[in-house]
Amino acid sequence: MNHQPLAAADPLLAGVKPYPAEFAERYIAAGYWAERTLDQILRETAVRRAGHPAVIDRGRRVSYAELVNRIDVSQTALSACGIAQGERVIIHVPNVLEFFDAVYAVISIGAIPVFAVHSHRASELEHLANSSGAVLLLTSRQIPAADPQAIASQLASRLPGLRVMYAEDLYERGLHLACSGWDVPRQGCPRPAHAAAFLQLSGGTTGKPKLIPKTHRDYAYSFERSAQICALGDHTVYLSGIPLAHNFAASSPGYMGVFATGGTVVCALDGSAERVFELIAEHRVTMVAAVPPLAQAWLNSNVKHQYDLSSWKLLQVGGAKLARAVAVRVEQELGCTLQQVFGMAEGLVCYTRLDDDLETIASTQGKPMSDADEVLVLDAQGNPVPEGTPGNLWVRGPYTFRGYYNNPEANAASFTPDGFYGSGDIVVRDARGYLSVVGRTKDVINRGGEKVSPEQIEAVLLRHPAVHDASVIGVPDELLGERTHAYVVPREISPPPRAKTLRAWMRGEHIADHHIPDMITVVESLPTTHIGKISRNTLGSKAAELQGES
Ligand code: OOB
């Protein structure tokens, strides 16, 4: 555990690197940052929209007034537990009503949520507890395919100082305490808006997740601006196919954007086509967020015609590159507008706009949400590249963080001296400022000196009508240094495509020889990260175990 204080540490939470004063002044003067905390924003909406449903979770419909009451009562249970301002609390709760009780009760009490993903198990949670110094884990009895008691006892033996509670008990316990005379606090977060509100996890595909502090005011700006871009309002009914704990589902515009504008969040415990389509039809959902593998599964599902999806206006896809061949199918096959979202927990989020032309929506990952986002596209030497040329993405702005929590080594490696964060993404910027992600610095395959981007090969494979999904990795090769290996998941048709046929088809697609995979293996499924992005890292390390026809 590294508890080295940083030079100019946030006085409200040691280990948080604040925005420099001149930037803070600029963001306040320009109206980007305001003096409101995250729970205050929800409480304000609750005054305006008291009786309107805030959350729907299976049979449970909870109005804004009820939600705020649940949060206040839940706070009582946390106080009784001795949780104090500034202490870290891990949230390990899936997409259910109690997720909101947990998050907002912790924030309202002035403690700091640390957002685990519900697919994390003891080993990941132990890392999070150590790196955040958390005192409490709020887990859940509703995590699909998990044994929370086993997780708790594994953690108890390794981290005796970490207390464990179920999010489902917060409200009940709080009610009980209130009945026995405890005061239910109703005033909300005691910390100022410039303080760190929570710690989010980096989505990096290498190494263990790092912790990203977000202040109330920078985060509020990002979801309120996102809500504007996505035209959220009272009428919005939002569903996320990915965990609510992830930055995309939290703030792009996510549930926080919905709560800021008075709409409704519908909880989906998983992103399967049946579950999501059923919820869309039943609750007249207007907007859905997904990672590309989910969107592909919904597009290729043969049950979609059985549901009334007419309320569905917008499908947001982000988190990983959406192939153009998939993007062009959305409007016609699902009947809604596609919005590409390219973002990162560290900050910058880009959107295609709702009124963009179809080509822009299908072939770019959008443009930054804020006029104050400073985006640089640089070559390896740090010089700007011309428009239309791939380069490394660097960013600074009113909701892009200034440093990982308590991690000077990672900070030294991730920032320029003047505060630009290097995301590791390779992008192309056009004359309008729209970005297309063409790869990641670390993913580039060096095939005998020819630099091959896995995304480019995947994009071609996804054009084949029998291909459901594809992922390409580099594997060591004596002659070339690295060669390309494509793993392909077929659509549910019989017979599935043969590796030989796919390669022959690719040759007919008029692509460079080095874009035809050296190896193709047809497999049943691909490994994914905790939020459902295809994980090339795991694919690389598990490649030998993957059975399939080559
Ligand atoms: C989102 O956040 P993270 O932190 O899980 O992952 C960030 C990384 C980016 O640096 C990029 O490599 C990749 O995920 N990524 C995309 C992408 N969106 C994210 N790559 C290509 N195309 C896209 N549309 O993933 C995230 C955070 C907020 C909103 C949306 C996604």
| 306-343 tens-digit pLDDT | 999 999 999 999 999 999 999 999 999 999 999 999 99
Kindly tell me if the per-residue pLDDT of 6 is higher than 50. no
Kindly tell me if the per-residue pLDDT of 7 is higher than 80. no
Look up residue 442 and give its DSSP letter: G
Give per-residue pLDDT as tens, 88-139. 999 999 999 999 999 999 999 999 999 999 989 998 899 999 999 999 999 9
Which pLDDT belongs to residue 69? 97
The pick from 341, 342, 425 for probing ligand 1's pocket by mutation, whose C-beta has the most ligand atoms within 8 angstroms, reads: 342
Taking the C-alpha atoms of residue 13 and residue 10, their distance in angstroms, rounded to an integer, is: 5
* 369 CA from centroid of ligand 1 (Å): 14
- Indicate which residue's Cα is closest to atom 14 of ligand 1: 319
CA distances in angstroms from 399 to 199, 233, 370, 435, 437, listed in the order given = 14, 22, 9, 18, 20
Q: Using a 6 Å CB cutoff, which residues line ligand 1?
A: 202-203, 247-248, 252, 318-321, 340-345, 349, 365, 423, 425, 437, 440
Q: What is the dihedral of CA 122, 127, 128, 129, to 10 degrees?
A: 80
Give per-residue pLDDT as tens, 176-234. 999 999 999 888 999 999 999 999 999 755 567 899 999 999 999 999 999 999 999 99
* 75 CA from centroid of ligand 1 (Å): 33
> Which residue carries 């280990």 as its tokens?
15
Higher pLDDT, 446 or 220: 220
Domains by residue range for the chain, with CATH = 13-429 (3.40.50.12780), 445-545 (3.30.300.30)
The pick from 218, 246, 291, 344 for probing ligand 1's pocket by mutation, whose C-beta has the most ligand atoms within 8 angstroms, reads: 344
Contact residues for 66 (Cβ-Cβ < 8 A; gap 6+): 54
Q: Can you tell me which atom of ligand 1 is nearest the CA of 366?
A: 24
CA distances in angstroms from 374 to 398, 418, 420, 422, 529, listed in the order given = 9, 12, 8, 12, 29
- Indicate which residue's Cα is closest to atom 5 of ligand 1: 203
Which pLDDT belongs to residue 1? 39
Task: List the one residue out of 60, 198, 189 whose CA is nearest residue 116.
Answer: 198
Which pLDDT belongs to residue 481? 82
> Which residue carries 């959008």 as its tokens?
366
* 203 CA from centroid of ligand 1 (Å): 8
Interaxial angle between packed helices 254-261 and 216-229, expressed in degrees from 0 to 180 and rounded to the nearest 10: 80
Contact residues for 362 (Cβ-Cβ < 8 A; gap 6+): 324, 327, 328, 338
Helix (H) or strand (E) holding 533: none
Helix (H) or strand (E) holding 431: none
Q: Can you tell me which atom of ligand 1 is nearest the CA of 201?
A: 4
Q: Can you tell me which atom of ligand 1 is nearest the CA of 346?
A: 4
Give per-residue pLDDT as tens, 18-72. 999 999 999 999 999 999 999 999 999 999 999 999 999 999 999 999 999 999 9
Residue 334 contacts residue 312 (beta carbons within 8 Å): yes
Q: Can you tell me which atom of ligand 1 is nearest the CA of 455?
A: 21
Taking the C-alpha atoms of residue 240 and residue 347, their distance in angstroms, rounded to an integer, is: 20
Interval 459-485 mean pLDDT = 92
Which pLDDT belongs to residue 451? 79
Which pLDDT belongs to residue 339? 98
Q: What is the pTM of this model?
A: 0.92
* 345 CA from centroid of ligand 1 (Å): 8
* 343 CA from centroid of ligand 1 (Å): 4
* 439 CA from centroid of ligand 1 (Å): 11
* 336 CA from centroid of ligand 1 (Å): 22
Taking the C-alpha atoms of residue 396 and residue 347, their distance in angstroms, rounded to an integer, is: 8
Q: Which of 302-316, 359-373, 483-497 has the lowest mean pLDDT?
A: 483-497
Residue 162 contacts residue 122 (beta carbons within 8 Å): no
Which pLDDT belongs to residue 207? 64
Which pLDDT belongs to residue 548? 64
Which pLDDT belongs to residue 9? 54
Three-state helix/strand/coil letters over 152-214: HHHHHHHCCCCEEEEHHHHHHHHHHHHHCCCCCCCCCCCCCCCCEEEEEECCCCCCCCCEEEE
Sorting pLDDT into bands at 50, 70 and 90, what band is 496?
A: confident
Instruction: Report the percentage of the chain scoring pLDDT > 90.
Output: 85
How many CB atoms are located within 10 Å of the residue 153 CB?
12
Contact residues for 4 (Cβ-Cβ < 8 A; gap 6+): 406, 408
Q: Can you tell me which atom of ligand 1 is nearest the CA of 529?
A: 5
CA distances in angstroms from 483 to 96, 321, 475, 498, 513, listed in the order given = 44, 22, 5, 20, 12
* 393 CA from centroid of ligand 1 (Å): 13
